[in-house]
Chains A and B, each alone.
Chain A
Amino acid sequence: MTFAAKFLCATAALALTAGAALAADPAVIYDLGGKFDKSFNESSFGGAKRWADETGGSFGEFEISSDAQREQAIREFAEKGHNPIVMAGFSWATPLETVAKDYPNTKFAIIDMVVDAPNVRSIVFNEHEGSYLVGMMAAMASESGTVGFIGGMDIPLIRKFACGYAQGVKAVKADATVISNMTGTTPSAWNDPVKGSELTLAQISQGADVVYAAAGGTGVGVLQTAADQDILSIGVDANQNYLHPGKVLTSMMKRVDNAVYDAFKSGDAMETGFNVMGISNGGVGYALDEHNAALVSAEMKAAVDDAAAKISSGELKVHDYMSDETCPALTF
């Protein structure tokens, strides 16, 4: 090899490593709902942004608009050298399974689903545990003995929320009634505040005086109508207590933002494998702040904290709808 060729090779190698180091930023890919869906996509963005604000780093992001773009988006980010690549939503499992093995040196994180590959971290949340806690609070705050649940779409994930909630309600008041409604059957069900509002009114007319919304952007309408009609509501995913202070009983927090933040923070050293975010490690929980302090009595807090401790220690087991696709406390 001549000197010139050697020199060229060395420069090329240098350029390649420099390029890779430059693009080793993490990346997050949002699901079909879009970045600002007031639900888990927005939570992922929140976690990524918190990481960027703290470290001054930058990250890649992409909003898919079609199912066929999933594989495309993962590949493009992997080829650009982004690491780790985080995606939220159960629909990512199948494309990620295909792509992950083509990029063994890139680490991926998937939220809400499990992908068994050596370079993938799978993060699942125990939504049923958090929903159980807010269900207990709903039953204690309810005077009529009837509480409501408004979900986005009738899919297993939302049934998991509803089932945990109903169990929490029944644990406090065995004879309480839980009304459950789903918003719709098209993707717009996750962002239909008007319909959320109508369903809330319908549940109020059936006697509900606490409603829990697990429906993304639709929940905004649920919380608004509940506040207007002077009943209590329960927010979901993020802490939504501030939306209507004194009217939102609590929020069931599912810390997708923490999952994204953690993945970004550990960078390419991210540990892979199966990762359960439950009550014990702060993955789910109920929100208590100055906006709802007046609504949560000392007795209520003691009961819920006691249950949380028991769930953490394994003494109390909340039935997970996904374990056998049935629910002891609610029929769908």
Chain B
Amino acid sequence: MDKMPKWADVVLIPLISLFLAALGAGAVLMATGHDPIAALGVMIEGGMGSSRAWGYTLYYATNFIFTGLAVAVAIHARLFNIGAEGQALLGGVGVAVACLQIPWPHWSLAVLGALVFAGLFGGLWAIVPAWLQAKRGSHIVITTIMFNFIAAALLNFLLVEVMKPAGVMEPATASFPEATHLPSFADMLGVFGIPFASDAPANFAFILAVIACVLVWLLIWRTRLGYEIRAFGHSETGARYAGISGVKIIVIAMVISGALAGMMSVNNVMGEAERLVLNSSEGAGFIGIAVALMGRNHPMGVFLAAVLFGFLYQGGAQLSFQLQIPREMVTVIQALVILFTGALDQMIRGTLERAFLAARKWRA
């Protein structure tokens, strides 16, 4: 019998964690001479209060859904993929190649092509660390971290030496042609007559992210491969005894993970910037780790955690804009949320479990 009901596990714990994080953030804001209630109001208004606010929140959330799923898939095979950042950068290269080299007639075809290229580039970038782990036992955490730096260096080289239009100061590709521009929320909802802020960056990629959530759920819990991945993650020796090839699972899980991270670039490179710039992933690969941990590696949890982080990003930006709170302070607030919801999760869980057990005893 479970120590506590399922609803407490799924709803109550995150809510308590968020409440504690809000208290901590409030204390920090008070200590620096700001009004925490006003700050909370600005964050909620700026992160969820208007269609433009939602447009930004969901744009960031789309990035975090892809990277969060990437990390989650790898964790199911007990692989800690810290390389989502680099895989997303390489995915961006794939998107840029697809958009600039192929004359697409329509965005709907372009987005499919870009997905394939982004997934291919991101997945291939994850193959080397995966193979080294599977065959040589080189720890995946170390190799994927190092591959982040190699990806940044490769992107720098490609942008400065190969992909940058001549005579331009900025290390960035040319803007993608009109036919590859993804429809924004304003375009999509406009069809149904629903008004939406036209300058918000959320775009068609959000729908792809939701589809990716469903597909990952199907993969992990409804396919033979997903079963093998989970079996391998639970017990390597047990899986081997059952005839599951460790090398195969490590490589396949990492390729799927890298492909998902790479596909993030369909959102930020193709949907928003419409060109490839240096450091295009901007740390979303690392946020993906927090998102996966907070979402407990379940696509639904990843989705909710990603929206929360998107809200923190957008609300935090509004905080520093409206109240002139320094950017670093916003990072402190975001870090507190990660600390309470991710790292201190067990603290709350333990206390809550004891409380439920005590309540049950008292009733019995």
Contact = CB atoms under 8 A, between A and B. Distances in A.
Given A66-B282, A69-B317, A71-B199, A90 B59 contact: no
Given A153-B156, A186-B152, A113 B282 contact: no
Tell me the interface secondary structure of chain A in the complex: mixed
B56 A68 contact: yes
Given A67-B280, A68-B56, A94 B275 contact: yes
Contacts of A76: 321
B108 to A, nearest CB: 24
B171 A156 contact: yes
B317 A93 contact: no
Interface size class of B (residues with CB under 8 A): 35 or more
Contacts of A93: 170
Contacts of A206: none
Contacts of B278: 153, 155, 187
B321 A73 contact: yes
A63 B320 contact: yes
B31 interface: no
Given A185-B156, A186-B152, A155 B171 contact: yes
A322 B321 contact: no
A328 B361 CA distance: 84
Contacts of B320: 62-63
A113 B170 contact: yes
B269 to A, nearest CB: 10
Interface residues of A, number: 31
A198 interface: no
A187 B279 contact: yes
Given A75-B199, A94-B275, A154-B156, A68 B59 contact: yes
Interface in A185-218: 185-187
B105 interface: no
A24 B320 CA distance: 20
A34 B149 contact: no
A68 B169 contact: no
Nearest to A66: B282
A61 B160 CA distance: 31
Contacts of B152: 185-186
Interface in B150-202: 152-153, 155-157, 160, 164, 166-172, 175, 199, 201
A171 interface: no
Interface of B: 56, 59-60, 149, 152-153, 155-157, 160, 164, 166-172, 175, 199, 201, 268, 272-273, 275, 277-280, 282, 313, 317, 320-321, 324, 326-327, 330
